[in-house]
Amino acid sequence: MLHQIWNIALYKPFINVLAFLINIIPGGDLGVAVIILTLLVKTVLFPLSQKSIESQAKMKILEPEIAKIKNSGLSKEEVAKKTFELYKEYKTNPFSGCLLVLIQIPIILALYYVFYKGINFDSSLMYSFVKIPTNVNTHFLGLIDIGQKSLFLAVLAGLSQFLQAHYMPKNEPTTTSGKASFQESFAKSMQMQMKYVFPFIITFIAYGISGAVALYWVTSNLFTVGQQIYVNKKNALNKGLSVKN
């Protein structure tokens, strides 16, 4: 049942849009089609992902205030009440970012699966109004065969993942004693791993599958980096004034 829903709602639409793009792109360049499809999906998801990023950025701004409440010596009930009032005052929700990410995950995974499974234009998957491409050129811009493994694109995927981690909101110390709490130490450790370890994992995976997957990752990551830079600049303008929209 879930597999049928997955195919009907996500996989089949993506594979058909990809086929349509290949048919209209001069030379049937699969790489260009991969980039366009990835950008189309990211654009559709832009409002959700933008709210998620903005929510994360706003939570970072509120961290010092939340720390003050926690260190005020109030009871757990009072801390929870004060924290809730703070969220209400600044019109934010600590769980909204997680919810928005969860909504996006199936869509992103389906798009990834299109390239991971291999470009399969099986007639049973195609809509009646979409022609099966007769000319699928896997040589992206005539330079890189994305139907095969590509070390160059795999390395770019890793570098773009590093950039994405670099522009993510950073955890700022919320204690005045100079000694970080366990939560802060754990968060810092995770940030370090996401920035310096995860890019190597992405590079390894991308190279082990195909250039199409690597190109998808590069495009998706760079789009997210652009979003994050925009939010960071917006956040920098508002930080000294107000976090209200």
Q: Is the pLDDT of residue 210 over 90?
A: no
pTM of the model: 0.73
Distance CA 130, CA 137 (A): 18
Q: Is the pLDDT of residue 88 over 90?
A: no
Sole residue written with tokens 């399969």: 120
Residue type, 208: G
| Nearest to 62, CA basis, from 207, 222, 138, 172 | 172
Residue type, 204: F
Name the most confidently modeled range: 98-112, 135-149, 171-185, 186-200: 135-149
Q: Is the pLDDT of residue 161 over 80?
A: yes
- What local confidence, expressed as pLDDT, does residue 32 receive? 92
Per the CB < 8 A criterion, the answer to whether 63 and 238 are in contact is no
- What local confidence, expressed as pLDDT, does residue 96 receive? 60
The whole-number average pLDDT for the span 57-80 is 74
Distance CA 86, CA 91 (A): 8
| Nearest to 210, CA basis, from 158, 151, 164, 160 | 151
Sole residue written with tokens 């998808």: 216
Write out the two tokens for 196.
């310096």
Instruction: Kindly give, in sequence order, each residue whose CB lies less than 8 Å from that of residue 115, ignoring residues fewer than 6 positions away.
Output: 34, 209, 210, 212, 213, 215, 216
Q: For 162-203, write each residue's pLDDT tens digit.
A: 888 887 766 555 454 555 554 555 556 666 666 778 888 888
Would you tell me how many other CB atoms lie within 10 Å of the CB of residue 145? 17
Q: Is the pLDDT of residue 71 over 90?
A: no
Per the CB < 8 A criterion, the answer to whether 34 and 19 are in contact is no
Distance CA 64, CA 90 (A): 14
Domain boundaries, given as residue ranges, for the chain = 2-239
| Nearest to 198, CA basis, from 154, 165, 240, 237 | 165
Distance CA 121, CA 108 (A): 20
